[in-house]
Structure 1
């Protein structure tokens, strides 16, 4: 096991710190493998249903498609990370793929946050301002919003393209996906980037979502019991609130809090115990951040606008297509059977 000499903040002596590479390699490879399978199957199936029923388009439908595409883009790069950690931290895929893999993870992270915010605002307008919603929220405007989210998230995440693979002289390995070291010259830039993404990419969207959900709950509670029973939008809204808040609390919040603490931690002296716990928390929270791709299919199925109806419609369409194909084949089969019978008789 690798050792690292670290200066303790209390005195001037150094102590040998055990590496967490074994823990990191096991957790990352297992977690990313599971996220890849669940994310690919869930989002791939959702995209199939959404694209096959595109004629029933709505603004919410547009956001769901873009969210699923963002998730698929992310999970397609995770096998490269799995390969890296299975090989005990040896990167052999080249500098370009190292940069792209890191970049797409963060593009997905912030696209997911913004698409969930847009979906929450759309649901808020539909419930709280139903009349104005018909005029303000259209498919064309939803597409423009999605385009803006893609451009902004891609541009804001571009600094992650600046850092690629590196060579570690201690382990004699080519590295990728490695966090910054203590007193690194990159720390000031990383801290500035972190605070920007923390405020713009997490805090503000989360506040918007909380305000939207407060307005939705207040409107639903102010309705009469009879009105609440008649409208299906109430149950959809409640399910959406639960799933989005669960995603933020499990995936996004721990990661952003821990990342901020970690960058501040790197700029000061620390003991081995502090370093070990901090590095392990980096591993756990990054896995949780990547797992947002597994939560989104729940959002489509349980709160998506008519998603289950779209699924039923797709099944019916496929069933009708199969029956139509079989019915066309039957006369041909009967004719061939008669011809064979006549040949046998002659």
Structure 2
């Protein structure tokens, strides 16, 4: 995700007099990626387990959520290597192959997540706005084909990231990874940025906005239908809020800042304070982009079909087992024979004792 990680000021002759943000970068990246790995792994593994257990009632939306969970898990699995890199203060010790694969895998899963969200939004759009057409188009078979197409498309479009491997920094004699090329390589980076900006972000985000506009318009014009089928409308609204939140917090700042940063690098009249501010904004937006893996479990919980029902049933099963166990233990501890006390003949007294026992 360090497509524009030009934050090592010691490596640039044009900014040699500017203060380095290496310490800030290493601390923020290592801490943020560690937290994202922990919360993202727990949330997506839990969601994936529940989604797999619900195989008997699969739907297109379920298929997209399953692939989104897998994509998020693969994304967070690449982050520990980055944590090691920044904990070692920018020294890469894992070899050229892992350097290339970790960069490639992170971008693949980042943009797969975006496209799976777009597919989920279009699935809801068909179900609400065109319910009759959805019976023919919104099938699980079609959803699986869409998911395969997304994986293949993103894997092919992300192949240029395999070209960026480790290299030796001549000034610090450190082995670097996740650092972009300079000079002529930077011009190729500009082209790659605009391709990913349009195809990886703008197009799916436009699809999402159009789908949500159609969903909201349909829900507002069918007030009586919403009252009869309120669950579908509520789930759609929840999905709209969560997906837009993820885009506005994670994906949009990253892509906007990345484009601004490229135009900023082409200028020669920048001051040191501007350069430091821009470099720190790179760090912050990259962390926000990686954090999308922690937000997606909210999508499973609040808008997934029967997801919360299965979670509630699991909680009731655990609670029911506890109650049954308690019910077996109470007669041993609380009976008159165990306590050596006579059974009260007065009905009111017996009810009072039962009440006190239950309160305990």
TM-score, normalised by the number of residues in structure 2: 0.83
* Pairwise CA distance, 1:177: 1.2
* Structure 2 Cα separation of the partners of residues 30 and 257 of structure 1: 24
Structure 1 consecutive aligned stretches of length 4 or more whose deviation exceeds 3 Å: 1-7, 312-320
Partner of 1:201: 200
Give CA deviations for 1:175-229 in whole Å, capped at 9, x if unaligned. Answer: 1112444xx22112111111111111111111111110001000111113x4322
CA-to-aligned-CA distance 1:38-82 (integer Å, 9 cap, x gap): 100000001111111211111001000100000000101101101
**What is the CA-CA distance between 1:151 and the residue it aligns to?**
0.4
5+ long unaligned stretches in structure 2: 1-7, 326-360
**Cα distance change of structure 1 residues 222 and 101 upon mapping to structure 2, 3 Å threshold:** same
**Alignment-derived partner of residue 243 in structure 1:** 242
Select the residue among 223, 226, 229 that pairs with 2:227. 229
Deviation at 1:312, TM superposition (A): 3.9
Corresponding residue for residue 188 of structure 1: 187
SS in 1 for 2:94: coil
- RMSD across aligned positions (CA): 2.1
Post-superposition offset of 1:271: 2.5
CA contact (8 A) 2:164 2:180 kept: no
| 307-316 vs 124-133, which moves further | 307-316
Would you say 1:276 and 2:253 are equivalent positions? no
Question: What are the within-5 Å matches in structure 2 for residues 91-102 of structure 1?
Answer: 91-102=92-103
For residue 118 of structure 2, what is the aligned residue in structure 1? 117
Work out whether residues 64 and 119 of structure 2, in 8 Å CA contact, stay in contact via their aligned partners in 1: yes
Task: Describe the SS at the equivalent of 2:246.
Answer: helix
SS at match of 1:18: coil
Q: Distance in 2 between matches of 1:150 and 1:5?
A: 37
Mark the CA change 1:3 to 1:151 in structure 2 (over 3 Å): closer, same or farther.
closer
Partner of residue 310, structure 2 = 310
Question: In the TM superposition, what whole-angstrom CA distance separates every residue of 1:272-321 from its partner, at most 9, and x where no partner exists?
Answer: 2222111111111111111110110000000112211233455678899x
Structure 2 counterpart of 1:265: 264
* Greater C-alpha Rg: 2
| Distance of 1:2 and 1:109 partners within structure 2 | 27
1:1-346 equivalences in 2 (<5 Å)? 3=10, 6-7=13-14, 16-181=17-182, 184-224=183-223, 226-231=224-229, 232-269=231-268, 270-313=270-313
